[in-house]
Structure 1
Amino acid sequence: MIFRNIYLQTLILLWILQVTLYSCKSEEKKEVKVRSETYSNPLEVQFGDPYVLDNGNGIYYMYGTGGGAKDGFSVYSSNNLIDWKYESQVYHGNTENSWNVGHFWAPEVYKINNKFYLFFSADWRNNPTKELENFRIGVAISDNPTGPFRDLTGEPLFDPGYPIIDANVFKDEDGQNYLFYSRVCYKHTVTSEIADWAKKEGLYDTIEESWVYGVKLKSDFKGIIGDPVVLLRPSEKINSKNAEWESKSVTSNEINRRWTEGSFTFKYKGIYYIMYSSNYYLGPNYAVGYATGSSPLGPFRKADNNPVLEKNTSSGGEVTGTGHNMVFSLNGGDNMYTVYHGRTKKSGLNRVVFLDELKILDDGKLIINGPTTDTTSIVWD
């Protein structure tokens, strides 16, 4: 009788253990379930300089240059990063009391303490010498990602004494915010071996360049701390690894300018990555490269595998003018994507939005799987 009770108790324990193991396996399977959706580029959004904000509630918002906005910026929303719905124009400039009067470019929106901050570029009303390019960076604030946004101070964020565009904000792990921007080419004549070559070839007497700068931001976003420092500029030496692709607008006799603009900074496994676009934004050779550093304000070293994103017409594709990208991770993981604009035969001169996978290899090398136009997938962890 005793042995029979022990036998029954053993059977019961084995049954409980089996149920427990099955339950754990079911939970384990549930945790690793992957969600994915297929799509093909370009997306149904006609934006230049696209920027995507993850609102943290499953809804994403995309801002950009153009997109039907008049003297300001519009926004689209999506719950899958593929299908986008037009919401509204979120910012209206060129008003009677605005500091800005035209050329509204490159908006980026950040969610901080349940407020939304819009950084953007526009022509400054204060223009006593009637400069043709008089751009400055502004900041606007709203309680909602769909606006309306109102100017934070009623004036540009700061005045460096030269025209600037393409604001990008990066918050480091210590809580300090940094502003990155591009000094435009306008009246910025630079000497280099490329400039000497262009003059010798009879192409251009002078070459103008745009450079990327970085500076600390005040915690209230109403000003900067210290002096901006140069982080990136076009290659000075004609035989450097990045000179050839960065100089195509000059060497192809397109225009007497070389660009470093549309920067985007992020940190991955202790390394600071700063991405940038080179060449004429209205031309086919607009492309993306990156550099790495050990601090937000550099020094940065350009990668040897640049450009990491460029036109694909040489390989039978139809995409040109790829540039001004940003990067985001889904669910805060290693599943990374980049959003950028480009042109196709169908879009003509209009810039349209592309979404492609971005990877960082074990050796720190950054690569982009794009530009793609075939059916592909976006994956959530």
Structure 2
Amino acid sequence: MKFLRTLLFFALSSASAAIAQQKINSGNPIFKGWYADPEAVIFNKQYWVYPTYSAPYKEQVFLDAFSSNDLLNWKKHPHVLDTAGVKWANKAMWAPAIVEKDRKYYLFFGANDIQSDKESGGIGVAVADRPEGPYKDHIGKPLIDSFHNGAQPIDQFVFKDKDGQYYIIYGGWQHCNIARLSTDFKTLIPFKDGITYKEITPEGYVEGPYMFVRNGKYYFMWSEGGWTGPDYSVAYAIADSPMGPFKRIGKILKQDPGIARGAGHHSVIYNRKKDLWYIVYHRRPLTETDGNHRETCIDVMSFDEKGLIKPVVITKEGVKAQRLD
């Protein structure tokens, strides 16, 4: 009997290994759980995703992270940041953005979903020595704690320009601002004309800004529609400067009624060595009606000969394995 049990164990182990080897696509979602607003980056030859924990606001008191060597297999790093370590934050910890600078990792986040300047909250910064944290509050208060140009202080993205200057691009309520970050990420620095917050809102903008540079051009992307509705989507513009002006070109990511609803609030991964682009975003399964039931997915992003972004085809299969070695 012992021999048979041993034989069965090895047979099952071999079968499991064979199944693992047969996995050639990531599948969508890329990891289990309700997660939204994913910030995808590459650190130390690894893929990382920092999403919002998608739940009622009062339950959004932490951020998890996920790492992968190949885009197929993801490791969860729970509670890399928690409101227990951020005295001014108590709910609605949202839409993280992250950058590495001088061997430190800076995690920007929104908290408290403030509705006016009379409330406490806004956009904060946390810092850690490793991508997986743990992160601690960097300045002990929000970096941006009030409304400017009508923009709710949420949905921040941190962008490093070609000259090394870091900008924070953010905003809800259909307004988007850009501001200059100090070298220590503790304050904002006014532009040469004395203005600290410059509005760069394009037509159709709602929230979720993202920016990257390709062939010397600035691609500015954002989410449109309502985050709980089927019209949630991503559009973009191209300009010669991070300040714009940005004229809307069109949508490149939206739902497919046969696959999932409300595809939006994204980020981008670029494998520079192999010139491969990916879009990481959230969407709602067809089986779900709860607004918070959102999943993080990945699909290929590509460009035409004019440099315009081709409409993204959302899939159940996801993307093929791709290591960064």
Per the normalisation by structure 1, the TM-score is 0.70
CA shift in 2, pair 1:213/1:375, >3 Å = closer
Question: Which residue pairs with 1:121 in the alignment?
Answer: 110
Give the superposed CA RMSD: 2.5
- Give the C-alpha shift of residue 52 in structure 1: 1.8
**Offset of residue 38 of structure 1:** 2.2
What is the match of residue 232 of structure 1? 201
C-alpha contact 1:99 1:124 (8 A) present in aligned 2: no
Within a 5 Å distance, the mapping from 1:338-357 to structure 2 comes to 338-349=279-290, 350-357=293-300
Counterpart residue number, 2:239: 293
1:82 aligns with 2:51: no
Report the counterpart of residue 49 of structure 1 in structure 2.
Answer: 37
Quick one: structure 1 residues 296 and 92, their matched pair in 2 at CA, closer, same or farther if it must change by over 3 Å? same
Q: Secondary structure at the match of 1:101?
A: coil
Match of 1:169 among 143, 158, 175: 158
- Decide whether the 8 Å contact of 1:101 with 1:124 is kept in 2: no
How big is the shift at 1:56?
1.8
Give the aligned partner of residue 318 of structure 1.
259
Q: Which has the higher contact order (CA 8 A, sep 6+)?
A: 2
SS in 2 for 1:307: strand
Unaligned runs of 5+ in 1: 1-35, 186-209, 236-245, 247-258
2:70–2:323 CA contact under 8 A, matched in 1: no
The CA deviation at 1:60 is: 2.2
* Cα distance change of structure 1 residues 326 and 50 upon mapping to structure 2, 3 Å threshold: same
Shift of 1:346: 3.8
Q: Flag structure 2 segments of 5+ consecutive residues without an equivalent.
A: 1-22, 191-195
**Residue of 38, 56, 59 corresponding to 2:25:** 38
Matched residue, 1:370? 313
Identity %: 31
Measure, in 2, the Cα distance between the counterparts of 1:73 and 1:298. Answer: 32
Residue of 228, 246, 269 corresponding to 1:328: 269
In the TM superposition, what is the alpha-carbon distance from 1:323 to its structure 2 partner? 0.6
Residue in structure 1 matching 2:302, options 349, 359, 362: 359
Matches within 5 A, 1:179-198: 179-182=168-171, 184-185=172-173
- The one of 136, 140, 143 equivalent to 1:157 is 143
CA distance in 2, matches of 1:282, 1:225: 35
* Correspondences of 1:234-253 after superposition (within 5 Å): 235=203, 246=204
Q: Distance in 2 between matches of 1:164 and 1:376?
A: 33
Tell me the CA shift for residue 318 of structure 1. 2.8
Q: Does the 8 Å CA contact 1:357/1:368 hold for their aligned counterparts?
A: no
Provide Cα deviations, 1:158-203, integer angstroms capped at 9, x if missing partner: 3443531011011111111111001x32xxxxxxxxxxxxxxxxxx
Looking at structure 2, the residues matched to 86 and 379 of structure 1 have their Cα atoms a distance apart, in angstroms, of 19
After TM superposition, the score normalised by the length of structure 2 is: 0.81
| Deviation, structure 1 residue 354 | 1.1
State whether structure 2 residue 266 is matched by structure 1 residue 302. no
Match of 2:222? 276
Change (3 A) 1:155 1:318: same
